[in-house]
């Protein structure tokens, strides 16, 4: 059992757990310590971890992962409507459906690799989006979004005579999942997902995926059939996306078609690249940064800016407010774009590469007299 997990992996998992569970404390000074955003941090963290299994480990860039996310949400909401308000059946249901969905799309898309694979997944995702948006409106309620209502059937709840007060909201064994309860529920799943991703990356199966990334043709020549491995990776990451989608529906029981749009698929690619492709922590950090920008920067308005810059002299403050206001509020995409460009140009490996470089610099400057060369050590 000694090689159950390496010491580094265990430390990483523990550190990650501590950081995640203390988020309500250390994010409060940044204006992000409120349950809804924390839940989103967890949910999109799971989404990005799952996406990284496919993109980071296997090297297949999927541009259609939002489809599985959306399918998970719709499946969960339908489970709330038809079966029970309990979260567990909804999540099992969502993960299974999105896994099945990923199996079909993956089976078709994985006949090609590289850019053709990306385009195929994009096409399937766009088809799913359009189905959800206009064709399947009886199931998805289109742009309006699928919501819970008082007169849903909820057969299981009805059978055991369980009722609720006020508006129907998802529960966990009768416990409501709003606010911080919802956050810890999602945090538990993020940590589990992270642990599972660690195990996958460290397993022989993970080794197989990594070798598909490094040279698929060589793998095939040595006699491996790579497709089952790639397909499993695709399905696993689709199920991760479904889990994330289901959690989003658990914490906020509404499923809208927008979460399946190609921009949502692109967002998870951005998260992964921003944080660091192929690293375990990177995609989660990327997800947090993007969600932070989306929710906090977009909420800043001229009033807040004026207060923030009020220490500057009158005329100057006005100019600064004018300039900065272009980068916040509805201009938050501009800031995100700038950050993304800077990271991709200077840190092609994402934020995690920055962390590694800093660690390397610190280590190199440790021994006295060691000349600090700017060259990367040739490894």
CB of 32 to other proteins, least distance (A): 8
One of 124, 184, 189, 229 touching other proteins (CB under 8 A): 184
Q: What is the DSSP string of 104-134?
A: HHHHHHTTS-HHHHHHHHHHHHHHHHHIIII
Rule CB under 8 A: say whether 147 interacts with other proteins: yes
One of 307, 316, 319, 330 touching other proteins (CB under 8 A): 330
Which of 25, 23, 26, 54 is closest to 41 using CA atoms? 23
* Closer residue to other proteins (CB): 156 or 254: 254
Question: For the chain, how big is the Rg over CA atoms in Å?
Answer: 22
Q: How far apart are CA 157 and CA 82, in angstroms?
A: 9
One of 29, 30, 138, 150 touching other proteins (CB under 8 A): 150
Q: How far apart are CA 303 and CA 288, in angstroms?
A: 26
Rule CB under 8 A: say whether 202 interacts with other proteins: no
Rule CB under 8 A: say whether 10 interacts with other proteins: yes
Question: Which of positions 236-295 make contact with other proteins (CB under 8 A)?
Answer: 252, 254, 256, 258-259, 295
In three-state secondary structure terms, 369 is: coil
Rule CB under 8 A: say whether 310 interacts with other proteins: no
Mark the segment that binds other proteins (CB under 8 A) among 24-32, 60-68, 309-317, 352-360.
24-32
Rule CB under 8 A: say whether 14 interacts with other proteins: yes
Rule CB under 8 A: say whether 327 interacts with other proteins: no
The answer to whether residues 57 and 278 touch, using CB atoms and an 8 Å cutoff, is yes
According to DSSP H, which parts of the chain are helical? 7-21, 23-26, 35-52, 66-82, 87-109, 114-130, 137-140, 155-159, 179-202, 204-221, 227-251, 262-275, 282-296, 302-308, 314-325, 332-346, 351-365
Mark the segment that binds other proteins (CB under 8 A) among 88-96, 160-168, 204-212, 280-288.
160-168
One of 29, 138, 161, 166 touching other proteins (CB under 8 A): 166
Rule CB under 8 A: say whether 151 interacts with other proteins: yes
* Closer residue to other proteins (CB): 61 or 169: 169
Calculate the alpha carbon distances from 123 to 41, 66, 75, 117, 181 in Å. 28, 12, 21, 10, 38
Cα-Cα-Cα-Cα dihedral sign, residues 121, 123, 126, 131? negative
Mark the segment that binds other proteins (CB under 8 A) among 34-42, 205-213, 234-242, 370-378.
34-42
One of 104, 134, 307, 337 touching other proteins (CB under 8 A): 134
* Length of the chain counted residue by residue: 379
Calculate the alpha carbon distances from 88 to 79, 249, 264 in Å. 10, 12, 25
Rule CB under 8 A: say whether 173 interacts with other proteins: no
> Which residue in this structure is represented by tokens 């038809």?
82
* Closer residue to other proteins (CB): 12 or 219: 12
Residue ranges in contact with other proteins by CB under 8 A: 1-2, 4, 7, 10, 14, 17-18, 21-22, 24-25, 31, 33-37, 40, 133-134, 137, 142-145, 147-151, 165-167, 169, 176, 178-180, 184, 252, 254, 256, 258-259, 295, 298-299, 301, 329-330
């Amino acid at each position: 059992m000694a090689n159950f997990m390496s010491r580094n992996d265990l430390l990483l998992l523990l550190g990650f757990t501590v950081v995640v569970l203390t988020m309500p404390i250390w994010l409060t000074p940044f204006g992000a310590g409120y349950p809804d955003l924390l839940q989103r941090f967890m949910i999109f963290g799971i989404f990005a971890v799952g996406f990284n299994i496919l993109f980071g480990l296997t090297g297949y860039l999927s541009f259609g992962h939002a489809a599985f996310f959306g399918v998970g949400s719709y499946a969960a909401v339908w489970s709330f409507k038809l079966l029970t308000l309990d979260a567990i059946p909804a999540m099992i249901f969502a993960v299974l459906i999105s896994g099945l969905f990923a199996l079909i799309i993956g089976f078709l898309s994985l006949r090609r690799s590289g850019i053709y694979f990306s385009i195929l997944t994009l096409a399937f995702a766009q088809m799913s989006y359009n189905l959800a948006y206009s064709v399947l409106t009886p199931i998805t309620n289109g742009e309006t979004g699928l919501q819970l209502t008082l007169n849903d059937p909820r057969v299981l709840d009805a059978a055991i005579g369980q009722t609720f007060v006020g508006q129907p909201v998802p529960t966990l064994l009768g416990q409501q999942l709003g606010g911080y309860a919802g956050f810890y529920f999602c945090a538990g799943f993020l940590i589990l997902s992270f642990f599972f991703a660690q195990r996958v990356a460290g397993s022989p199966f993970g080794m197989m995926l990594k070798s598909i990334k490094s040279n698929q043709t060589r793998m095939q020549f040595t006699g491996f059939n790579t497709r089952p491995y790639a397909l499993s990776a695709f399905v696993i990451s689709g199920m991760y996306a479904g889990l994330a989608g289901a959690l989003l529906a658990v914490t906020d029981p509404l499923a809208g078609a927008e979460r399946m749009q190609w921009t949502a698929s692109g967002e998870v690619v951005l998260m992964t690249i921003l944080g660091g492709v192929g690293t375990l922590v990177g995609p989660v950090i990327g997800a947090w940064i993007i969600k932070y920008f989306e929710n906090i920067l977009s909420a800043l308005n001229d009033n807040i800016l004026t207060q923030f810059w009020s220490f500057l002299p009158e005329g100057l403050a006005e100019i600064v407010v004018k300039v900065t206001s272009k980068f916040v509020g509805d201009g938050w995409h501009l800031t995100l774009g700038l950050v993304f460009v800077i990271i991709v140009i200077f840190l092609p490996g994402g934020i995690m590469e920055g962390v590694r470089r800093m660690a390397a610099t610190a280590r190199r400057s440790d021994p006295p007299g060691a000349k600090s060369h700017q060259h990367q050590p040739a490894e």
